Amino acid sequence: MTPLGVSRSSPYIASNVAQALEHFWLIDELQQVASRELSDWTGARAGTIVHCTGAAITLSIAAVMTGTDQQNIANLPDVTALPSKVILPAAHAINYGQSIQQAIRLAGAEPILAGSSHHCSICELEKHLQEPGTSCLLLVSSRLVAGNEIDFKAAVKAAHDAGLPTIIDGAAQDRRLADLLDTGTDLLLLSAQKYLSAPTAGIILGTQQLVDSVRANERGIGRAMKASKEAIFGVLAAIEERQTENLAIWQAEQAEKLARFIGQANEIPQLEAFSIPDMTGLPFSRACLTVTRSKTNVGAAGLVEALKMGTPGIRVMEHALREERIIFELVPLHETEIAVILERISEILVPK
């Protein structure tokens, strides 16, 4: 959703951002407040806010290599004499608009891929974790990950047994943060602007020592990756809203919305609609549509393109198009917008 501006913020979040823009603030003090609020919300020891999750990956890699040593920080991306190998399961070498391997290399580190794009065992990870010059283990929790599921808790333990810290990139996983923190990871990276609906920002949670090292790197390569005052205020407001939310009620609302969409979509003769759970374990499902080609000249790809070209333009999740499936994410949508989507689909598939 990044090319679409990622998410919507509530009026409450927007008003907090607007108020922040009207004043001067000491950023270090704001970050101290943010760390306390992030800790209270998540149970992590400490936290900080950076420009985005992509920045969080690079800064976290930098932090585990340099610590708070100012000379090491000033030398990056020169990693001479620093442990700089980052172990990454090959199936986790995703591209989210940027290759995660490039995000690693931006810190001066070298990504080392373990296993294959289809499978990586704990034994394969352990082998690489023993290599000289290894700095950390990086794991990714995302629907973009391919291959077998890795036991994150076992992988974190393997890294810790080798004396190495771990980082989990859980960008869109803020509704699973308790599970991810329970792995024992040293740093957890989240996106503030996805389901948390804050302005663009990355959240880093973890040990006080490593969070301090992330902050220290803002006086090095992280200078271009720092959070703005409006981002910090927006994240704090989003956390405040999330803490007042009743998850069971929210899930019920999402399920009802999804059921109505699927029921109405199945009334369109050329469609078959059903729900699919989130493959990473997020607490909601999405709508999946298939087009019956025998009844229309418009297939799944044609429907997607026609939805894009209309007014308003409608975008869908396209990762399953090769299987002739169209995925709709309904979480951020209002009922009136869902009605427009269904009407447009009907117009395209059942022209009058």
Examine the pLDDT at 3 and tell me if it is beyond 70: yes
Burial 27-54 (b: 16+ CB within 10 A, else e): beebbeebbebbbebbebbbbbbbbbbb
Q: Two tokens at 62?
A: 């930098």
- The DSSP code sequence of 189-248 is EEESSSTT--SS-EEEEE-HHHHHHHHHGGGTGGGGGBPPHHHHHHHHHHHHHHHH--HH
Average pLDDT of span 130-147: 90
pTM: 0.93
Whether 227 and 245 have beta carbons less than 8 Å apart is answered as: no
- Look at residue 294 in the predicted model and tell me its pLDDT: 58
> Radius of gyration of the chain from Cα atoms?
22
In the chain, the domains with their CATH numbers are 2-244 (3.40.640.10), 247-349 (3.90.1150.180)
Output DSSP code: residue 10.
Answer: P
Q: Cα separation of 277 and 329, whole Å?
A: 11
Average pLDDT of span 50-79: 97
Q: Cα separation of 202 and 57, whole Å?
A: 9
Q: Two tokens at 76?
A: 């990056």
To which H or E segment does residue 110 belong? strand 110-114
Average pLDDT of span 129-149: 89
Q: Cα separation of 337 and 347, whole Å?
A: 15
Pairing between β-strand 85-89 and β-strand 134-140 as defined by DSSP bridges: parallel
Examine the pLDDT at 296 and tell me if it is beyond 70: no
- Look at residue 147 in the predicted model and tell me its pLDDT: 78
Average pLDDT of span 259-284: 91
Single-letter amino acid code for the residue at 160: H
Angle at 221 between CA 220 and CA 224, to 5 degrees: 110
Examine the pLDDT at 352 and tell me if it is beyond 80: no
| pLDDT more than 90, % of the chain | 79
Q: Cα separation of 350 and 181, whole Å?
A: 48
Q: Could you read off the pLDDT of 37-52 as tens digits, one per residue?
A: 999 999 999 999 999 9
- Look at residue 280 in the predicted model and tell me its pLDDT: 85
Whether 172 and 142 have beta carbons less than 8 Å apart is answered as: yes
- Look at residue 295 in the predicted model and tell me its pLDDT: 64
- Whole-number mean pLDDT of the chain? 93
